[in-house]
Amino acid sequence: MTLDELQVGQGGRIALVGGEGALRRRLLDMGLTPRTYVKVRKVAPMGDPIELTLRGYELTIRLEDAKNIRMGEVDA
């Protein structure tokens, strides 16, 4: 399961951050690292972007970028 597949209110731990070069580095720099707990807080009316809560702050990312983040344990 990838981060873009989570519903509002669902959360889980990041298992793997994919992507190439600058994209991967940017995701890691924003705190999206393996074993970090992430929760989907909101989704924009058209479905893109999504707002996440992680490490005590809110982060908004595009669905295209969220597809590169593989989730491990996911809350039901």
Domains and CATH numbers, the chain: 3-74 (2.30.30.90)
Q: Radius of gyration (Cα) for the chain, nearest Å?
A: 11
Average pLDDT, integer, range 10-35 = 94
pLDDT digits (tens, 9 = 90+) for 44-59: 999 899 999 999 999 9
What is the pLDDT at residue 68? 94
Cis peptide, bond prior to residue 34, ω within 30 of zero: no
pLDDT band at 76 (very low <50, low <70, confident <90, very high): low
The single residue listed with the structure tokens 């479905």 is 47
pTM (2 d.p.): 0.88
Q: Which has the closest alpha carbon to 5: 48, 60, 66?
A: 66
